[in-house]
Chain A
């Protein structure tokens, strides 16, 4: 009870202080505004999309952009705009879920490794660094081999791909903070390790991790699109930007809009995420702390 209200207060203060300031600049406002809009579109997709994303109309396949299909139709006559809108749902939720899992696991491992040190730290960091030596596609293939293709495999593959980054960053923050006098002072008050970790180390370490998480969501969207493009991600008829582009390659010259619009969606989203992430770094004033991981 106490902890949850504390978390809420911390998040509230964080929103007021940092995210608020990131929106303040022109770039931050445009990029952040676009992202908020995109999230709303993803949430309210069923009400916004003009057509059913799965409804086929072979008579009207490969129709160019126009009325009533604003962005045209694909090879099955499905409305591209509706599929891009529902694709936002897939891309954002898979990427955000994967990064959330990755952040939670990475922060836990990194904090424990940084705090306890010694053999435990070396063991954790070795295993985590090992994941870095596998190409993301290979990790995804392993999951596909185990649990079959689909969004779950994609999610876990993305989560593992970014685990090392979050673990290393958190560990670096904790190791730096652990040497501060206020930690020794609090230990000397008789504080338990849990108090030191949760009340002092983590709150001071979290800001750069959140920014990196923000930027990683952009990379996660690209990775999800890549895996979808190779048919390892979302399975038909679930729309995903990557899978749409993949099916669009077959008629690249006949009906280019099938591949162009999801491609533009990926590009614009990732650019917006990165620009907003940069503003967030500036707002939090933590550029120097993002190095050294």
Chain B
């Protein structure tokens, strides 16, 4: 009887978007995991700090209020994985200056346009008359370039491994079709290097954080591109377990349970929670595209964290003709700009401090007028704290 009824329901109903994620937001499943984690956490010999590397995870954790469901001995450390937050003022100034050039349209992704550099944000220069646009997919730039053949379209490309292949796909088309009015300012960064930096910093005055991060929650979408292989070294060489997790609350809760179990069972491994899409090898075609057009920049400066070796991409030298950093080298400044003195974003990103421990949090530094990197995008730890607020533990 039951089975027949169920089949009828399925036949009657078309598959809807909601069906795809509903199970991953099921209140009973979330509560079930909370219970299992609680039981398992009782056996922990010491409290554990889990860093969610990705801003998307920070956002999910805050939006769904997951810390409220976890026992006292499990803490989140909000990592540096927000491409907008980590963009240093120097590079935002580049975008600002490029946007200000005559006959130029500066194009970038989403909330990048809100972030202030030392001269202002892209929103500010747009208010002064510059043509600044945001797009969803880099391929949308092709349409803009076609519509404005007499203008230079400069793509201020940002993002982690997730958005990098989309930029290279555009480069691929631009070169193959010999489109002459699209240029690139590349600011793509990579996850593993900053994780190493957070564990093994050579910076003396922050030495004490060394043991704060006990385990990592790896972002699933990065691994869809790169495969889980990029995290292999963390359990092996750095003694930190990594669980690659999806972004839905059930995903995150399951990943946490997997991490806690590793500690209780004396294991230190790389595990995949997001088995529905992540493989060991990842998307090989995307990786080949990246390899074809990009090489690692020896240093990339991260807002709040400083210079990190091999953590960013740049265009290979043979593509200098489309490289805005080379074409506009004369007008793009290179001097270092200090982060705001009172800002403790570096400490927050390293797990040394929580956003509300910052003296300017919510006073001088707000989402509408951010001073530090973690407040600038909705995915930054401070912005998430500000938005979802003090009901959280």
Q: Do A and B bind each other?
A: no
